[in-house]
Amino acid sequence: MSSVQVAVVTGSNKGIGLAIVRALCKQFPGDVYLTSRDPGRGQAAVAQLQQEGLRPLFHQLDIDDLQSIRALRDFLKEKYGGLNVLVNNAGIAFKVHDTTPFAVQAEVTLKTNFFGTRNVCTELLPLMKPYGRVVNVSSMVSSSALGGCSQELQQKFRSDTITEEELVQLMTKFVEDTKKSVHEKEGWPNTAYGVSKIGVTVLSRIQARLLNEERKGDHILLNACCPGWVRTDMAGPKATKSPDEGAETPVYLALLPSNADAPHGQFVSNKTVRPW
Ligand code: NAP
């Protein structure tokens, strides 16, 4: 088993994920895994970084596919005996003018952004080594969507005692409510992406709390963040940040020094903790 440190970035064949891998290859003292659901797109991205003189490694990962997640888990366990840095970056968003019915957008978006990210965490968080760093890429849209929720929902999503099961129930209810066209009456905002990212931010707060309760002595730091508005296929060419600039906050959180005890369980943008 290798004693080398290891970092994994989900959804890193393009966009912000690729830029995070680029920065980690330059700054992280260990192996960096670029992962992609499609091996062809992943290998092409590895070749692109190799042309820049960097040496990322590759592993397939589709966060919608539990088998794929478990194959990566088993590989990391066997080769490295765990994991030092996990960046949950993979995500999807329907375009504003997409005419796909809202209920379908809700189901598809939540499936990847919330349930897929949660499945990666369920399988990989137990592998995190002492002083590990976990970064869940959420969005400022999670904050604005929270503001668009009913007072009752806001209270639940801000609660310091909400459990992962309760959060899963709420995310499932959102999808069901959109199918019945009652989501607005039930207090939800009209944004599937926003609700999925509320899920990512609240999940991060819950996971950080669990780490405090169950693994306090391991000094693992886990945070959610917003990369900013970044020029990628998702956000388009008018966005204000380059992918490398978008990678700055996630990479800052991934490389928090071993003597840091904060931030932890926070929502961070521009390297600054934001109120939730
Ligand atoms: P992007 O260019 O569309 O890249 C998304 C990445 O996620 C791609 O590599 C994509 O792979 C991958 N992905 C999607 N579904 C996946 C799955 N099931 N399994 C594995 N990988 C999957 O988007 P981006 O702008 O870089 O976004 C990265 C993250 O930042 C997302 O979580 C996004 O919500 C968040 N974010 C972005 C912005 C922004 O302004 N761009 C702002 C706030 C937050 P394929 O190539 O195979 O599709």
pLDDT at 7 over 90: yes
List, for residues 124-151, the tens digit of each pLDDT value.
Answer: 999 999 999 999 999 999 999 999 999 9
21 within a domain of the structure (yes/no): yes
203 within a domain of the structure (yes/no): yes
What is the pLDDT, as a whole number, of residue 1? 80
164 within a domain of the structure (yes/no): no
Q: How many Å lie between the centroid of ligand 1 and the Cα of residue 203?
A: 18
Which ligand 1 atom sits closest to the C-alpha of 141? 43
17 within a domain of the structure (yes/no): yes
217 within a domain of the structure (yes/no): yes
Ligand 1, pocket residues at CB < 6 Å: 10-11, 13-17, 36-38, 41, 61-64, 89-93, 112, 116, 137, 139, 226-227, 229-230, 232-235, 239
30: closest CA among 131, 135, 138, 136?
131
What is the pLDDT, as a whole number, of residue 170? 99
Tell me what the mean pLDDT of segment 169-191 comes to: 98
Which residues are annotated as catalytic? 193
Cα–Cα distances in Å, from 272 out to 60, 219, 228? 32, 20, 12
| Total number of domains in the chain | 1
What is the pLDDT, as a whole number, of residue 254? 99
68: closest CA among 119, 28, 105?
119
- Residue 4: phi, psi to the nearest 5? -65, 145
DSSP 3-state of 143: helix
pLDDT at 188 over 90: yes
| Distance, CA of 246 to CA of 16 (rounded, Å) | 6
172 within a domain of the structure (yes/no): no
List, for residues 203-212, the tens digit of each pLDDT value.
Answer: 999 999 999 9
Starting at the edge strand found earlier in the chain, the sheet holding 221-226 runs 57-60, 30-36, 5-9, 83-88, 128-137, 221-226, 267-269, 272-274
What is the pLDDT, as a whole number, of residue 2? 80
149 within a domain of the structure (yes/no): no
DSSP helix, strand, coil percent of the chain (3-state; round to 5): 50, 15, 35
Q: How many Å lie between the centroid of ligand 1 and the Cα of residue 215?
A: 30
What is the pLDDT, as a whole number, of residue 60? 99
256: closest CA among 87, 68, 120?
87
List, for residues 25-72, the tens digit of each pLDDT value.
Answer: 999 999 999 999 999 999 999 999 999 999 999 999 999 999 999 999
Contact in structure between 55 and 25 (CB atoms under 8 Å): yes
Place of tokens 């669990």: 210
Which ligand 1 atom sits closest to the C-alpha of 233? 2
Of the pLDDT bands very low, low, confident and very high (cuts 50, 70, 90), residue 187 is: very high
List, for residues 233-269, the tens digit of each pLDDT value.
Answer: 999 999 999 999 999 999 999 999 999 999 999 999 9
| Residue 165, amino acid | E
Q: How many Å lie between the centroid of ligand 1 and the Cα of residue 27?
A: 22
DSSP code of residue 183: T
Cα–Cα distances in Å, from 185 out to 62, 166, 181, 182? 34, 20, 9, 5
Q: Of 9, 22, 37, which is best to mutate to test ligand 1, by the most ligand atoms within 8 angstroms of its C-beta? A: 37
35 within a domain of the structure (yes/no): yes
Which ligand 1 atom sits closest to the C-alpha of 140? 43
CATH of the domain at 236: 3.40.50.720
Q: What is the pTM of this model?
A: 0.99
Enclosing domain of residue 13: 6-95+113-140+199-269
| Residue 11, amino acid | G
